[in-house]
Chains A and B, each alone.
Chain A
Amino acid sequence: MRRFVLGEFSKPDACVEAARKLREGGVTGLDAYSPYPLHGIDEALALPRSKVPLVALTGGVLGALGGYVMQWWMNSVNYDINVGNRPSHGFWTNIPITFECGVLLAVLSIFFGSIFGFFGLPRTYHPVFESERFRTASLDAFWISAETEDEQAVGDLEGKFKALGAHKVHTVTESV
């Protein structure tokens, strides 16, 4: 059963600082929650570089290639359209749709890649929402959570959170 020790901070800087100290102190399973992106939290939690640009690039290149091949195959291979004996494969006239398809696929892969892949959303339940107080995480407070399976570690973690200036400390348990 997963347990989350949650600490609420009222100032963003205090939250970032606490996250950094906790990570340096060897606490694992850390995450922070805030109403807007916190400056410096990526370094504080030592998050690896985001792979969103790679997903976007892959989507964009595949979209553009697919868009071009689609036009070439449909208009000059599968059903050759002859207008005034112009070449059926027109490179320049294929460019606008190639561009649009590239952008479309890049956008779709960024959006759905982020939502489903990177965020793991939509999800109807997450243990942190067990705390009613946690609602402030999207409004005006800053939270840090530490995940642990070990019941003994909870007391120790709560103490650390308080020492770092969290003015509310809650422990929530995942309901099965």
Chain B
Amino acid sequence: MAETAIEGRTELRPPALVQGEQDDGTLNKTLNAFIWEPPRRGWLALLGLGLAGTGLLSAAVAVTLAKGIGTWGNNIPVGWAFGIINFVWWIGIGHAGTLISAILLLFQQKWRTSINRFAEAMTLFAVMQAGLFPVLHTGRPWFAIYWLFPYPSTLKIWPQFKSPLMWDVFAVSTYFTTSLLFWYLGLIPDLASLRDSSTSRRARIAYGIFALGWRGSARHWHHYKIAYLLLAGLATPLVLSVHTIVSWDFALSILPGWHTTIFPPYFVAGAVFSGFAMVLTLIVPARRFMHLKHVVTPRHLEAMCKVMLLTGLIVAYGYAMEHFAAWYSGNEFEKHVFFFTRPRGPYAWAYFTQMFCNVVVPQIYWTRWGRTNIWAIWIGSLLINVGMWFERFNIIVTSLHQDFIPSNWAMYYPTWVDLSLLAGTICFFGTLFLLFLKFLPAVAVSEIKELNHEIHQGHAGISLHSPDRPLHAGELEGAVR
């Protein structure tokens, strides 16, 4: 009887987080292999594509700066359009990185270890794209410093701190700084290991400079562990505040479709939803081509799908509540937005794209098949990225284009500059990401080594056998629980 119970438990054990018999040496080799090998053709081709798109971005930025934002499709009443959609979309994508690196660390979710570096890099690059849009949207960014930062100019004018747009400036710049420093602190031990395993003098010097002379001293680790944990603890409320403040850009106005109290939680959930979709979109091909399947296992992908399903359900609840509140308020302008403009107006196709991608698609992750089939994961995550972009399109453009007075209504159409800015930032993001994959460890090697050690140690702690005996797979898995 007891034996069957034990067998039953064995079957319920989740698969190992680090697969195969790994030690520090093999982890060093396999995780950093992509850095040391010569660049592959596929990587070069993608980089070329990314650089071409970055060129397009530069052209679109140059046109915007030279001629002004009249080159965009924005009009009255649609004063905010692609610029703000793209800003919210990119910053939302960034949030998954912080969730993975900070919140999952505090919750001691060990599966985060393999993907946190990757996701943090994604955060940084996404926030860089996001930051571009409001700056360009000011029209004359070289003047924007007077109203965006409390800079003591001879004009003696200070920013208006009661505006949510100012809160945004502080939130996004704090978020970027925190993400950058958190990422860099995590990188230092790995840069030191790259310095020490490099074979060429040039690489040794380059990685040596960025490793700052780290020698892995116990006296440093002692402070490092606490610094890392505190940064995670600070990043957690920060990430919630950032998207809350982004949602206040809308919710504090009186426009129907924007003026809702549910915006902060619904925006935060949407941000995490889209961010996890982006992590999956990137990691599914990366783990294959960079041979990282032993540390980014199906168990990791499954866990990410579950987070997507959960946040997707919160987002769906947000949609339902928006519609309910519009109906329950009895306000005709509210009802007009939610029951006429969005589902039956000229942008209805965008509304149904949003609903299909964000509400219907994630439901496949209820099934084990959806969470384990690599194509279901990848295509699903791509669709969610698209859906989340259209969500912001509907919130911004659809709400604005038919506001209170019918004589004020107008359609919005993007220009080539708008489209190039969107496509260009996607390519610029891709370029930065490809460079990151090639030159920096995409997986937190030192943290994986620690996890691997804990797995073995955890086993040794409960073992009745001699520790010298090699472990077999089942035992290793048991220790991960």
Residues of chain A whose beta carbon lies under 8 Å from any beta carbon of chain B: 12, 19, 31-39, 41-42, 45, 47, 50, 52-53, 56, 60, 70-71, 74-75, 78-79, 81, 83, 86, 90, 93-94, 96-97, 99-101, 103-104, 106-108, 110-111, 114-115, 118-119, 121-126, 128-129, 134-140
Contacts and interface: CB of A to CB of B under 8 A. Distances in A.
Given A99-B241, A104-B177, A36 B453 contact: yes
Given A96-B170, A121-B212, A139-B196, A75 B158 contact: yes
Interface in B119-163: 150, 156-162
B197 A56 contact: no
B226 A33 contact: no
B166 A97 contact: yes
B222 to A, nearest CB: 5
Contacts, number: 186
Interface in B150-190: 150, 156-162, 164, 166-167, 170-171, 173-174, 177-178, 181-182, 184-185, 189
B195 A138 contact: yes
Given A114-B223, A121-B212, A100 B218 contact: no
Given A37-B224, A104-B178, 7 more contacts: A19-B218, A45-B218, A50-B226, A71-B161, A97-B167, A103-B237, A140-B23
Contacts of A90: 162
A71 to B, nearest CB: 4
A103 B238 contact: yes
Interface stretch (B43-51, B227-235, B399-407): B227-235
Nearest to B244: A96
A79 B197 contact: no
A42 B223 CA distance: 10
A138 B241 contact: no
6 contacts: A38-B221, A52-B226, A79-B157, A103-B174, A111-B227, A140-B28
Contact of A12 (B150, B189, B197, B453): B453
Given A32-B217, A79-B158, A96-B171, A42 B447 contact: no
Nearest to A119: B220
Nearest to A92: B162
Contacts of B213: 121-126
A100 B235 CA distance: 11
A135 B194 CA distance: 10
Nearest to B195: A138
A159 B190 CA distance: 33
B239 to A, nearest CB: 10
A12 B218 CA distance: 12
Contacts of B181: 107-108, 111
Interface in B199-221: 212-221
A154 B397 CA distance: 75
Q: Is the interface of B mostly helix, strand, loop or mixed?
A: helix
A107 B234 contact: yes
Closest 7 CB pairs of A and B: A140-B24, A74-B158, A36-B450, A122-B212, A135-B196, A32-B218, A37-B221
Contacts of B61: none
Contacts of A39: 457
B116 interface: no
Nearest to A144: B218
B225 interface: yes
A35 B446 CA distance: 6
A35 B238 CA distance: 30
Contacts of B248: 96
Given A138-B195, A138-B214, A47 B25 contact: no
A114 B178 contact: no
Nearest to B184: A111
B245 interface: yes
Contacts of A140: 23-25, 28, 449
B85 interface: no
B158 A78 contact: yes
B219 A53 contact: no
B16 interface: no
A99 B234 CA distance: 11
